[in-house]
Structures are given as structure tokens and as C-alpha cells.
Amino acid sequence: MSTPLASAPSIGLGNPVAVAKVNQLKAQPRKQGEASFFFYDAHFKNAAVKILPGEYFVDQEDLLVMTTLGSCIAACLWDRVAKVGGMNHFMLPEGNGDSGRYGSFAMELLINEMMKRGASKARMEAKIFGGGAVISGMNSLNVGERNTNFVIDFLKLERIPIVSKDVMDVYPRKVCFLPASGKAMVKRLAPTNTDALVQQDKAAIQKVQPVASSGGSIDLF
């Protein structure tokens, strides 16, 4: 629980099976919106993929799916029978166009891609993370709260149970999901040294504005 959730983007020397998996993943063609930043994680000694805002990833194998969140939401879905899991990362509940940056599109895309891999929506369960108010003085716009409420309402409408969650509050989060087992780990980050997340959240806030603690331990979910 207290082990740092660290990662290293370079392959270097490591688990040869995992290194070979990274190279295999890099060589495969990817769909639009599918995450494609693969690397060898030296801490977990396993292949990993990083999900950027607007992206998703679905798999059935033993690898790590990671992302870092401010006011954004990551939904992790899993079918325990088919052993298929996936994660997305969206910035706002809704918007114009078909973009994974918007929850309304990102959630449908994730569900559909999992079903293509043999998952059943009737068996899916969800773990949700993010929605933090990481920008001081911007709480009145409630981007994180809106994102959180959206994903909870969406999953309720689709009858996909939420089995665990770590949402809202003021913390950025680093999330690691294992699609083969459905397990997830989350670490609340210190609200310092998060310039990239703050810029990401400010970009999201610009889209919704009307016209005219210290880092914690890892929790398992």
C-alpha cells in the first residue's frame, strides 16, 4: 500500500517477456483515439501503456494501463467472465463532435470496444477516478464535480454497477489499471508540481465558461 507507484518510460534492461510485449504492442496498428504510448515500467517490471486525455485502451492481457488525472475522469470497466478490461480518460461531460475528450462519446466508445473483445455489458462493472478540484479559485465552475456526476449518472442509466471510486476532493491522481484482473491502484498526488495537469484543466475550463496536501500512499480498488 505504501510502495511508490513509479514508472520509467525507457525500456533498458528488464523482464525480457515484458520488454518483448512492449515491442509487440508498439508494432501493432492502432485505431483512432486508442492509446499508443507503450513503455516498460521498471517498478512493476511489466509492459505498460499511458492514456492521454481523449484516449482509451482495452485489453485482456497482463499489462498496466496508466493515466494521471486532475478534474478529468478515468472510468475503468471490467467483465470478470470474459476477463476483458478497459480505461478511458475524458475532460468534459459533453461537447461538439465525436471526441474521446467528452464523456458522452468516451463512455460509449469504451463499452463498444470491450464488447468487440467479447465482453457483455450485462457483466461489466466500473471503477471511477478523478474529478479533483486541482485549480485554486476555479471551484465555482465545478468541472470535476460535473464530470463525476456525469459518469455516475451514465453508468446508472446503463446499469453498470460502480464497485469502487475515488473522486472529487482537491487532489490530482495517478491511476494504474490491470485489465486482465480488474484490479486498480490509485495514488493521490501532492497538489504541487502539477503544472501539466493544471494547464490541461484550464483548457477544459475554457470550454465550459459562459460567453461575455501531500502525496499519499497507494490505495487498491
Radius of gyration of the chain, Cα coordinates, nearest whole angstrom: 17
Detail the DSSP E strand segments found in the chain. Answer: 37-41, 46-50, 56-59, 64-69, 73-79, 84-88, 124-130, 162-167, 173-178, 183-188, 218-220
Active-site annotation holder among 72, 73, 74, 155: 72
CA distances from 78 to 6, 59, 147, 197 (A): 24, 10, 20, 27
DSSP, collapsed to helix, strand or coil, labels residue 53 as: coil
DSSP, collapsed to helix, strand or coil, labels residue 117 as: coil
User: Any catalytic annotation for residue 72?
Assistant: yes
CB neighbour list of residue 136: distance below 8 Å, 6 or more residues apart: none
Residue written as cell 497482463? Answer: 62
Cβ atoms 70, 132 nearer than 8 A: yes
Cβ atoms 220, 1 nearer than 8 A: yes
Q: Which residues are catalytic?
A: 72
